[in-house]
Chains A and B, each alone.
Chain A
């Protein structure tokens, strides 16, 4: 029997990142996919990044993951969102050439040492008692592994709806993995049902582009990977059009025929990505909604009309699309559809994304109730690193809320669970001012080097950058100036007698690097990239210092580990409701317990008291 350290099932965004991470960690890894072309497929809109999501991609990249590099290679419209707002909330995004993305990802996977790609359908797990110890393929082949990562997206009982027609399947054209689903059923995991939707795909050659306004790519593209320098592909524009009264009438008249409104769907959809039917019902006073017409590639005529996802029947889709300016003649290549699927309540997972009750099995991606390529990839990374660590006999790799968006997501999922498909937002991160896309490498690359998942090229490149940053910071903080000296350079400042360093001056929103250069000629020498980075650090320095106190408090609570066999029923004074929630989540420390919905300070005090009591007893 073949034997691997880690087997990853599924080659989507979670699976690719998981397999690559495990291989980078130095363990023998297999990626099992139903077909080779399934690797790196973008099943929804052809774009990577955005707000919160761009942060995740940068963090994946800082740990030497693949998503950022591949997106840079396939990007055809780079835009930095929130360019006019503070750097903490700026998010890189790009439209991606779907084919190039897929090709690039496939090629990286195929050329990764210690990573084998196996084409086949996993129909069952090999079990060793309670433990998952490998997989069984459709042809009966058995492959053993120390750990298995399942990244099957919407394949668990996926049902596609177009109007009142529905059929079982994952993505359009893929068959759903129902045998595996049966096996997973036998584990008795807590499952829930979600739905998501896509818009009809249009033939770009039938769109009247000349009638539409356009959105261009940025003049100065901001890429994802800290290793990339410039876009690889030509940059293109997106078109912008709007729905109108006629569109809304057509949809309103046919609401009953929508799978969603016709009562065919039970799954909960995302509030932030409503179908066009939802938009028209819920925001009845709005007479127009914006649509972005996003090209799916340079050589591909397919256009993704972002903003009109639907589960209406095909003929209604034709009608409403044709009612929209510029789309009067548009040909639908593939109708929009809604998909319902099972997800595993992520509160059944540990912080390393392994299942609490099934040793050896990790889950990553949409199966955990998330949505989005970036969220999937980030979970892939976490599961890949941890599955490899387990195979190597190492400790769990923890991502924390105060050091990464990845940590925020993992904690949100495993502590609070989901009520709708989970998507990252910057507002989920309470330490947002320090968790920036621009400093992901400074937050995570050294951590990755220590773990062993960062290659030489990146390690050295980061080392150089770090030295430059340290020298630059020393230069900026080395000398302080009187208000008089500062005013002499043209910077407006209170004559309050306080001496300030150039770094402190950069914390004022109206002071830019060029202003402080006049204080010290040596600052002229600093590279522009380093100048920018240090300016961003300086801007938030006061707030980060303040947040540091919260971080300390968090750390203090994280130090109170809750034993895995802790019995909440034995905590005197804890309400039945809280006891139930705690038993479900099984927090690993007091900080995580505190984040459970409805948790009270008194409850925490009781738990802490019990932990101390048990410690004393064993001491």
Chain B
């Protein structure tokens, strides 16, 4: 197997840059640059030299003996000074030797190949690398540490037990086996069914944590929506003016609320459009607001808009600084009511994520829904008694296979490419 190397940290100037080398010849390849290697997992400082003996950098060297490494192979890490020139020189020197530059995702692919991780864990790692907020980090870490894989293993073994009970009555019909295994099978299938259904329920929340919530600000023109957006974002993301209809397109701002990724949407003021462009903007505003996870309505009490609030939406009166009534209101201009709005938003979002389960990807959801419908069918057949045991067994078999898809035991050829394509080089 080839020995591969790549920069494991981000491109560009940084304090430290890490180059990782993995493969059966990793130690030899590293020695060419740094001379004698330190002991396993004992860091040591070495001079890295080019083939011509020129010192490239003074680097920290870490050596991992396979299989106790990320990839499962012999691995060496060079912790360099994060200079673009140093990194380029070291990569060039490595490239002139027997090792080759890793393809995107190749380190992880090897970890998968050497059974250091399964697919759900690989996805968790990808999510972790992408994680921007605290909730994302926690969720991704759960995925990478194998929580989902462990649950699936647990369900799988229960289903295999159920299938084995049924198969025993089929294949050993003429021997001393219990004729009716329905009670235990029913129990096992019921347990798994309940768990899978619960995880599926938590999917949309978990997916939101991964991909982010959308919160739309809606209201009539000149209600101060853009001003509110800027206040929440703490920067001038949207142009504000006294002229009604200033915001035409949907403006998006990424932010972190209570550790959750949130995209705040500023939309065109809702009124009968004055021109075609504005009319289109308004149409778009309504569509986006409707699809958003949550809406903040800025409107005068007692008025109505072409879109109505849903359960959990926040309704506030605009321009708190100019009001004399006691309506709940907010002002982006003075900041009045902003703290309360943010805490309301946090409460709403956290409520929605409380149910978040372990499944975070559409791929997981599809596989598990398939499994759930097979389990329903299997339970139905089991209740009809031994006459339909052969069909029940077939349903259980399919249910198990669907679950296995999540951790990547079968059926994943196409998916692999997709997963690995989403990886940055050298991760």
Which residues of A are interface residues toward B (Cβ below 8 A)?
A: 50-52, 81-82, 84-86, 88-89, 93, 272, 289-290, 425-427, 430, 432-433, 509, 540, 543, 546, 572-575, 600-606, 608
Separation of A574 and B110 alpha carbons in the complex (Å): 9
Which among B106, B389, B408 has the greatest number of chain A C-beta atoms within 10 A?
B389
User: Do A572 and B1 have beta carbons less than 8 Å apart?
Assistant: yes
**In this assembly, does B384 line the interface, its C-beta being within 8 Å of a C-beta of chain A?**
yes
Chain B residues whose CB sits within 8 angstroms of the CB of A572 once the complex forms = 1-2
User: Do B397 and A426 have beta carbons less than 8 Å apart?
Assistant: no
Separation of A53 and B387 alpha carbons in the complex (Å): 20
User: Do A573 and B167 have beta carbons less than 8 Å apart?
Assistant: no
Separation of A325 and B173 alpha carbons in the complex (Å): 24
For chain B, residues 112 to 163, give those with C-beta under 8 angstroms from any C-beta of chain A.
Answer: 112-115
A592: min CB distance to chain B, Å: 15
Chain B residues whose CB sits within 8 angstroms of the CB of A93 once the complex forms = 174
Sample of 9 A–B contacts (CB below 8 Å): A427-B171, A433-B390, A433-B391, A572-B2, A573-B1, A573-B2, A600-B115, A601-B411, A601-B412
- 10 A-B pairs besides A572-B1, A573-B113, A575-B113 with CB distance below 8 A are A51-B172, A51-B174, A85-B173, A86-B389, A290-B175, A426-B171, A427-B167, A427-B170, A600-B408, A601-B416
Chain A residues whose CB sits within 8 angstroms of the CB of B176 once the complex forms = 289-290
B327: min CB distance to chain A, Å: 52
Chain A residues whose CB sits within 8 angstroms of the CB of B408 once the complex forms = 600-601
Q: A85-B389, A509-B384, A575-B113 are in contact. Are A605 and B416 (CB under 8 A)?
A: yes
**In this assembly, does B244 line the interface, its C-beta being within 8 Å of a C-beta of chain A?**
no
User: Do A427 and B173 have beta carbons less than 8 Å apart?
Assistant: no
For chain B, residues 356 to 402, give those with C-beta under 8 angstroms from any C-beta of chain A.
Answer: 384, 386-391, 393-394, 397-398
B342: min CB distance to chain A, Å: 45
**In this assembly, does B319 line the interface, its C-beta being within 8 Å of a C-beta of chain A?**
no
User: Do B113 and A89 have beta carbons less than 8 Å apart?
Assistant: no
User: Do A52 and B171 have beta carbons less than 8 Å apart?
Assistant: yes
- By beta carbon, the residue of chain B nearest A272 is B172
The 8 Å CB contact of B391, one of A52, A430, A543, is: A543
B272: min CB distance to chain A, Å: 45
**In this assembly, does B210 line the interface, its C-beta being within 8 Å of a C-beta of chain A?**
no
Q: A430-B397, A573-B1, A575-B114 are in contact. Are A605 and B413 (CB under 8 A)?
A: yes
Chain A residues whose CB sits within 8 angstroms of the CB of B106 once the complex forms = 573
B193: min CB distance to chain A, Å: 20
Chain B residues whose CB sits within 8 angstroms of the CB of A81 once the complex forms = 173-174
Separation of A50 and B171 alpha carbons in the complex (Å): 9
Separation of A84 and B388 alpha carbons in the complex (Å): 9
Chain A residues whose CB sits within 8 angstroms of the CB of B421 once the complex forms = none
User: Do B394 and A433 have beta carbons less than 8 Å apart?
Assistant: yes
Chain A residues whose CB sits within 8 angstroms of the CB of B172 once the complex forms = 51, 272
Q: A574-B113, A600-B112, A602-B112 are in contact. Are A89 and B175 (CB under 8 A)?
A: no
Separation of A290 and B176 alpha carbons in the complex (Å): 7
User: Do B416 and A86 have beta carbons less than 8 Å apart?
Assistant: no
Chain A residues whose CB sits within 8 angstroms of the CB of B173 once the complex forms = 51, 81-82, 85
Classify chain B's interface size.
35 or more
A40: min CB distance to chain B, Å: 24
Chain B residues whose CB sits within 8 angstroms of the CB of A573 once the complex forms = 1-2, 106, 109-110, 113
User: Do B394 and A543 have beta carbons less than 8 Å apart?
Assistant: yes
Chain B residues whose CB sits within 8 angstroms of the CB of A88 once the complex forms = 390
Q: A572-B1, A605-B416 are in contact. Are A425 and B390 (CB under 8 A)?
A: no
Separation of A575 and B387 alpha carbons in the complex (Å): 45
User: Do A509 and B388 have beta carbons less than 8 Å apart?
Assistant: yes
- By beta carbon, the residue of chain A nearest B384 is A509
User: Do A600 and B386 have beta carbons less than 8 Å apart?
Assistant: no
A160: min CB distance to chain B, Å: 26
Main secondary structure of the interface of B (DSSP, over half): helix
Chain B residues whose CB sits within 8 angstroms of the CB of A601 once the complex forms = 408-413, 416
Q: A84-B386, A88-B390, A432-B394 are in contact. Are A600 and B171 (CB under 8 A)?
A: no
Which among B112, B113, B412 has the greatest number of chain A C-beta atoms within 10 A?
B113
User: Do A603 and B113 have beta carbons less than 8 Å apart?
Assistant: yes
A538: min CB distance to chain B, Å: 13
User: Do B167 and A86 have beta carbons less than 8 Å apart?
Assistant: no
B413: min CB distance to chain A, Å: 6
Which among B173, B389, B409 has the greatest number of chain A C-beta atoms within 10 A?
B173
Closest 3 CB pairs of A and B: A86-B390, A427-B167, A425-B171
Separation of A616 and B155 alpha carbons in the complex (Å): 43
Separation of A595 and B397 alpha carbons in the complex (Å): 16
B383: min CB distance to chain A, Å: 12
Chain B residues whose CB sits within 8 angstroms of the CB of A574 once the complex forms = 1, 113
User: Do B390 and A89 have beta carbons less than 8 Å apart?
Assistant: yes
Chain B residues whose CB sits within 8 angstroms of the CB of A82 once the complex forms = 170, 173
Separation of A426 and B169 alpha carbons in the complex (Å): 11
B195: min CB distance to chain A, Å: 25
Separation of A84 and B173 alpha carbons in the complex (Å): 10
A232: min CB distance to chain B, Å: 23
Q: A602-B113, A603-B113 are in contact. Are A427 and B174 (CB under 8 A)?
A: no
Separation of A53 and B166 alpha carbons in the complex (Å): 19
A399: min CB distance to chain B, Å: 21
Which among B175, B390, B397, B410 has the greatest number of chain A C-beta atoms within 10 A?
B390
- By beta carbon, the residue of chain A nearest B109 is A602
The 8 Å CB contact of B390, one of A85, A289, A575, is: A85
- By beta carbon, the residue of chain B nearest A604 is B413
The 8 Å CB contact of A427, one of B109, B387, B393, B411, is: B393
Separation of A12 and B412 alpha carbons in the complex (Å): 45
Chain A residues whose CB sits within 8 angstroms of the CB of B390 once the complex forms = 85-86, 88-89, 432-433
Separation of A290 and B172 alpha carbons in the complex (Å): 13
Chain B residues whose CB sits within 8 angstroms of the CB of A289 once the complex forms = 176
User: Do B113 and A86 have beta carbons less than 8 Å apart?
Assistant: no
Separation of A604 and B414 alpha carbons in the complex (Å): 11
Separation of A81 and B390 alpha carbons in the complex (Å): 14
Chain B residues whose CB sits within 8 angstroms of the CB of A426 once the complex forms = 170-171
Separation of A610 and B292 alpha carbons in the complex (Å): 46
Separation of A572 and B172 alpha carbons in the complex (Å): 45
Separation of A604 and B115 alpha carbons in the complex (Å): 14
Separation of A594 and B384 alpha carbons in the complex (Å): 35
The 8 Å CB contact of A84, one of B112, B387, B412, is: B387
Which among A89, A426, A432, A603 has the greatest number of chain B C-beta atoms within 10 A?
A89
A116: min CB distance to chain B, Å: 39
Chain A residues whose CB sits within 8 angstroms of the CB of B394 once the complex forms = 432-433, 543
User: Do A86 and B388 have beta carbons less than 8 Å apart?
Assistant: yes
Which among B174, B387, B411 has the greatest number of chain A C-beta atoms within 10 A?
B174
Separation of A86 and B395 alpha carbons in the complex (Å): 14
Chain A residues whose CB sits within 8 angstroms of the CB of B1 once the complex forms = 572-574
A479: min CB distance to chain B, Å: 27
For chain B, residues 174 to 188, give those with C-beta under 8 angstroms from any C-beta of chain A.
Answer: 174-176
Separation of A600 and B409 alpha carbons in the complex (Å): 7
B113: min CB distance to chain A, Å: 5
Which among B171, B387, B410 has the greatest number of chain A C-beta atoms within 10 A?
B171
Q: A52-B171, A425-B171, A600-B112 are in contact. Are A86 and B391 (CB under 8 A)?
A: yes
Separation of A426 and B112 alpha carbons in the complex (Å): 33
Separation of A86 and B175 alpha carbons in the complex (Å): 18
- By beta carbon, the residue of chain B nearest A543 is B394
The 8 Å CB contact of A85, one of B109, B115, B175, B386, is: B386
A117: min CB distance to chain B, Å: 35
Chain B residues whose CB sits within 8 angstroms of the CB of A272 once the complex forms = 172
The 8 Å CB contact of A50, one of B174, B411, B416, B417, is: B174
- By beta carbon, the residue of chain A nearest B175 is A290
User: Do B387 and A89 have beta carbons less than 8 Å apart?
Assistant: no
Chain A residues whose CB sits within 8 angstroms of the CB of B112 once the complex forms = 600, 602
The 8 Å CB contact of A51, one of B109, B171, B412, is: B171
Separation of A603 and B391 alpha carbons in the complex (Å): 32
A433: min CB distance to chain B, Å: 6
Separation of A600 and B391 alpha carbons in the complex (Å): 29
User: Do A509 and B387 have beta carbons less than 8 Å apart?
Assistant: yes
Separation of A426 and B166 alpha carbons in the complex (Å): 12
